[in-house]
Structure 1
Amino acid sequence: MTRLNDPRVLRLGGWLAIAGTILSVVVNALHPHQDIGTDPFMVEVHEAGGMWIPLHYGISVAVVLDLFAMLAIGKTLRGIDRPDIVRYANGTAVVSAAVMLVLMGIDGFSTKHIADFYVAAQGAEKTAAYPVAYLILLLLLALLGLWYALFFGVAMPLYSIAMLRSTFYPRWLGLLGLTAGIGGLITGSLTYLLGSSFLVTTLMFLLFSSLGFLWLLLAGVRQLKVASEEAKVPETAEGALR
């Protein structure tokens, strides 16, 4: 019997998806959402103290786990009638991860040191530092919107469309990914085009990212389930021959 998917690969992909989802939810819950102005944002980063940089390192690890989990999903979708969809999804997932890692480098490291300087500055120094702080905030929002649109709004729907063409995943999971993806594309685009607001960068962000990570988690669970079933196939076949 020829297997389309190696149970070991499925287990790895499944656990990557579960670990990435859990870590992503935890670190994003701890991270403040940037729907505030320059001054309060700089103060917030400064007051985060020694936790700010490790928190963003954790987000970076989560991004890498999520990327490999997405690529593992792509491997389970081999054999569909449109393999180019999976290639586009894989490529977009890689680009989105690169964008997020750049964002984490700026937000997690550079922003912390700028915020510490900004809060401590007085008079002319603070006036001179304000444009830099404002520019950093705009850059963070632009990268955040771009990442959100690419990861949730492009890569996830492409994988979901491929899921709908595959028998590996249930149809409802593909529809869940499409729903999260459409909302993610709107959220990311609004963030990139209009900047931060409570509605977009807090409410919509949390809603559609929650749906997206639920999709990723359930895809991982599905891989583990199939891996368990596939692992029993040789034993079943051997038992039938006895």
Structure 2
Amino acid sequence: MLPPNDPAHSASEPHAHHAATVRLSLSEINALCFKAARGCGLSWGEAEEAGWAAAWLTRAGLSGPSLVLNWLRDCATLARPVPEQGRWRAPTGPLCPLRAGLALADHAGLPEGPGEDGLSIETVAHPLVLLPFVARSATRLDLPLRIRWGGADVTLDRDGTGPITLPPGQEHEAPADLRIATLDRPDTDAIPTVYSVPIQGIALTDWQALDALALRVTVPPSAASRAGAGAAGDDND
């Protein structure tokens, strides 16, 4: 067992923590989910986006780490999108929400992106994970974007969003077909609303699961690594 605060540990909370939930800062959530995504085999760039998305979702009032954990458990089986004008289809099964989100942001302003006629994306797994990238697309388009699926209907503007409220049962739903549409540009003279969303506690079991994934890419401490730590010489003058 690793001792508390061992440098090989993710260090998001003391190892001997026994509460039902843990409370992490946004930067800790970002770092923990980044490491967990790397532990699942995602590339450095994709893992960085996963950490950012977890922090964005938490700031929006959702359970960001739990949503990312549920997606990471499935990500190896999820398909990459094939962007096409007006409709993106899932070629071999449900689409990965992170890779669909990255493609959506990359195609913002292009014919394959959400233009005047809107965009449909079929069979997206864990659709809430896509929301941060819809917000990024809205920023790049300088227009609000409205995204709908099932009973959910969320509008994300170019300056971010306040707390997101969803109908009961929407946080862990099955793959869904999404519809994304541009909205009219808002009044640029309007005073922006400043939202304050309290940081939610993360279930201890979810933190432990993310931490276990993160440890897959951590080299465990050893006598040799400890002996080689620190400066090789004396630099005192």
TM over 0.5: no
Larger proportion of helix: 1
Tell me the TM-score normalised to structure 1 length: 0.31
Tell me the TM-score normalised to structure 2 length: 0.32
Larger proportion of strand: 2
